[in-house]
């Protein structure tokens, strides 16, 4: 039955009608708020490229988590800015590492928060890569083609990195982290972390795997926030090529086989097709990370009064939810919760 019998505008006439037939509902229960924890006390240092996002000392992070919970957001994920960086990411797995300190304080003061820990090494490595770096034998062709400074070849060593990642995850669980979230993109990390957690008695600690994490230009502001930009090269040898959809499905499938409890697609907005396909294909909770660049673009345009900040914020989050992500990691968790509440 077509026009004039069918008129889709009938149900768009008023807000109550639109609300009645709304297909996707956004609620604060879906949000995870990222926190960047740094040494010191009473520290709240705004990240220039991410207005409204701060590096927080442990005491300030505790206050932040209280506020997040009061707004109805159930969860936060911790990233750490260590005092010192080295070649084996000591700060990531040390008993008194910055994330471990924050986890203990947060769980003591706000026990009902779901506390996630990002498991990666880049913030703790002097070179800023997500794994152990080893110089690679140089090819003769490369040595001839370019001057020596440009031919420094290196490799991010996969299997040796797994051991440090596992150690990091176990130490986070010991400190009270409820769910570990490996973001490094090494092969086999989920299985290694699962085995390590089980061996240490943390059989009930779930793993949220950054399963399909793309090598993205949208991470720029995060690297400023977490001081984790690689000192040389880039992350294309471990993060995924933005052009590859089928490979994303394989990454998710493998992480599930290795024991991931929740899988994530990152970034969100430029990869809604990947989220939608993953939702149809895999019957597990699906998360998406609305990354720093997605946030910074909206903030920058809103500051120029080129867009309506609140409207675009909600629209972007609704689109991620509509694509199929039931969990959204977002710097807008607090602001969106205020709008929705």
Distance of closest approach, residue 156 Cβ to Zn ion, in angstroms: 10
Q: Which is nearer to Zn ion, 130 or 192 (CB)?
A: 130
Q: Which is nearer to Zn ion, 74 or 233 (CB)?
A: 233
Q: Which is nearer to Zn ion, 115 or 122 (CB)?
A: 122
Q: How many residues form the binding site for Zn ion (CB under 5 A)?
A: 3
Distance of closest approach, residue 12 Cβ to Zn ion, in angstroms: 45
Distance of closest approach, residue 336 Cβ to Zn ion, in angstroms: 26
Cis check for the bond before 110: say yes or no (omega within 30 of 0).
no
240 binds Zn ion (CB under 5 A): no
Alpha carbons 267 and 259: distance in angstroms, whole number: 22
Distance of closest approach, residue 139 Cβ to Zn ion, in angstroms: 27
Collect all residues with Cβ–Cβ distance below 8 Å to 199 and sequence separation of at least 6.
Answer: none
269 binds Zn ion (CB under 5 A): no
DSSP 326-339: SEEEETTHHHHHHH
Nearest residue to the partner Zn ion, using Cβ: 122
315: Cα separation from own chain's centroid: 20
CA angle 289/293/298 to nearest 5° reads: 100
Alpha carbons 329 and 320: distance in angstroms, whole number: 11
Q: Which is nearer to Zn ion, 130 or 274 (CB)?
A: 130
81 binds Zn ion (CB under 5 A): no
Alpha carbons 180 and 262: distance in angstroms, whole number: 10
Closest CA to 208 of 263, 274, 281: 263
248 binds Zn ion (CB under 5 A): no
Taking each helix axis from N to C end, the angle separating 58-70 and 333-340, rounded to the nearest 10 degrees, works out to 20
Closest CA to 78 of 164, 178, 149, 11: 178
Residues 93-132 vs Zn ion: string with x where CB under 5 A? Answer: ---------------------------x-x-------x--
Q: Which is nearer to Zn ion, 156 or 256 (CB)?
A: 156
Question: 192, 165 in Cβ contact below 8 A?
Answer: yes
Distance of closest approach, residue 55 Cβ to Zn ion, in angstroms: 17
Distance of closest approach, residue 337 Cβ to Zn ion, in angstroms: 28
50 binds Zn ion (CB under 5 A): no
156 binds Zn ion (CB under 5 A): no
Q: Which is nearer to Zn ion, 33 or 219 (CB)?
A: 219
Which amino acids are annotated catalytic? 213, 266
Cα–Cα distances in Å, from 190 out to 100, 126, 157, 230? 20, 24, 16, 23
Question: 75, 113 in Cβ contact below 8 A?
Answer: yes
Distance of closest approach, residue 238 Cβ to Zn ion, in angstroms: 9
262 binds Zn ion (CB under 5 A): no
Question: 267, 243 in Cβ contact below 8 A?
Answer: no
Q: Which is nearer to Zn ion, 38 or 122 (CB)?
A: 122
Alpha carbons 230 and 126: distance in angstroms, whole number: 9
The phi, psi pair for 77, rounded to 5°, reads: -120, 135
Residues 130-149 vs Zn ion: string with x where CB under 5 A? Answer: x-------------------
Closest CA to 226 of 302, 123, 152: 123
What is the contact surface with Zn ion in residues (CB under 5 A)?
120, 122, 130
């Amino acid at each position: 039955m077509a026009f004039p019998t069918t008129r889709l505008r009938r149900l768009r006439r008023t807000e109550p009608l639109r609300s009645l037939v709304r297909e996707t509902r956004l609620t604060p229960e879906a949000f995870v708020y990222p926190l960047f924890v740094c040494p010191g006390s009473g520290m709240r240092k705004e990240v220039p490229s991410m207005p409204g996002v701060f590096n927080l000392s442990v005491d300030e992070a505790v206050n932040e988590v209280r506020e997040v919970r009061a707004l109805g957001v159930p969860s936060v994920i911790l990233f750490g800015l260590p005092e010192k960086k080295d070649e084996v990411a000591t700060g990531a797995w040390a008993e008194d590492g910055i994330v471990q300190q924050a986890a203990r304080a947060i769980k003591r003061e706000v026990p009902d928060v779901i506390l996630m820990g990002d498991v990666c090494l880049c913030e703790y490595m002097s070179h800023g890569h997500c794994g152990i770096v080893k110089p690679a034998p140089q090819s003769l062709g490369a040595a001839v083609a370019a001057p020596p400074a440009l031919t420094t070849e290196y490799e991010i060593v996969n299997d040796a990195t797994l051991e440090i990642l596992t150690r990091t995850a176990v130490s986070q669980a010991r400190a009270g982290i409820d769910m570990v979230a490996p973001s490094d993109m090494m092969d086999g990390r989920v299985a290694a972390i699962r085995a390590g957690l089980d061996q240490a008695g943390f059989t009930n600690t779930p793993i949220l795997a950054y399963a399909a994490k793309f090598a993205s230009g949208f991470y720029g502001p995060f690297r400023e926030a977490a001081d984790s930009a690689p000192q040389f090269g880039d992350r294309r040898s471990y993060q995924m090529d933005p052009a590859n959809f089928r490979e994303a499905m394989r990454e998710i499938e493998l992480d599930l086989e290795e024991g991931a409890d929740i899988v994530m697609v990152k970034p969100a907005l430029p990869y809604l097709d990947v989220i939608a396909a993953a939702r149809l294909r895999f019957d597990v909770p699906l998360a998406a990370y609305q990354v720093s660049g997605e946030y910074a673009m909206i903030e920058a345009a809103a500051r120029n009064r080129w867009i309506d900040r609140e409207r675009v914020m909600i629209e972007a989050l609704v689109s991620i939810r509509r694509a199929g992500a039931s969990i959204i990691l977002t710097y807008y968790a607090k602001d969106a919760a205020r709008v929705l509440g």
